[in-house]
C-alpha cells in the first residue's frame, strides 16, 4: 500500500528524479531559516510494525534550490503521525504546517 506516490503527484518517477532528486545541492536542517518548503517526506514500514521509518525528506530553499532536509527524528509512530511531528516542531521552534510537511507525506507499507 502506498500513498502519494510519485506517479500520481508528478506523472512519473523519472520526472521527479530528473527535476528534484538530481538537482539537490545540499542539506539543511528543518529549522534553517532559508528553508521555504518541505516538498516530500517519504516514510516506509512493514505491515504490523508500529512505526514509520523516515526514508528521506526533500525541500526547497527560498532561492529555489532543492535540498535534502535533515529532520530531528528517524521514526514516527503509525498512530498520530501529525502529533509526533508537531511535538518535534514545537521543541525545535519550527512551524511545521507553514513548511507544508503535512501536505507531502508519502507512505509505503
Q: Is the pLDDT of residue 21 over 90?
A: no
**The cell 527560498 sits on which residue?**
62
Q: What is the pTM of this model?
A: 0.89
How do the domains of the chain map onto residue ranges?
6-108
pLDDT one-digit tens code per residue, 41-54:
999 999 999 999 99
Read off the pLDDT of each residue in 63-70 and give the average, rounded to a whole number: 97
Q: How confident is the model at residue 90 (pLDDT cuts 50, 70, 90)?
A: very high
Q: How confident is the model at residue 19 (pLDDT cuts 50, 70, 90)?
A: confident
105: helix, coil or strand?
Answer: strand
| b/e map 37-67, b = 16+ CB within 10 Å | bbbbbbbebeeeeeebeeeebbbbbeeeebb
Read off the pLDDT of each residue in 73-96 and give the average, rounded to a whole number: 97
Amino acid at each position: 500500500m502506498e500513498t502519494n506516490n510519485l506517479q500520481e503527484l508528478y506523472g512519473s518517477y523519472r520526472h521527479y528524479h530528473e527535476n528534484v532528486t538530481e538537482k539537490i545541492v545540499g542539506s539543511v536542517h528543518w529549522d534553517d531559516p532559508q528553508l521555504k518548503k518541505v516538498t516530500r517526506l517519504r516514510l516506509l514500514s512493514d505491515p504490523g510494525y508500529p512505526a514509520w521509518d523516515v526514508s528521506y525528506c526533500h525541500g526547497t530553499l527560498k532561492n529555489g534550490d532543492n535540498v535534502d532536509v535533515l529532520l530531528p527524528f528517524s521514526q514516527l509512530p503509525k498512530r498520530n503521525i501529525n502529533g509526533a511531528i508537531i511535538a518535534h516542531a514545537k521543541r525545535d521552534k519550527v512551524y511545521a504546517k507553514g513548511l507544508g510537511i503535512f501536505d507531502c507525506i508519502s507512505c509505503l507499507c
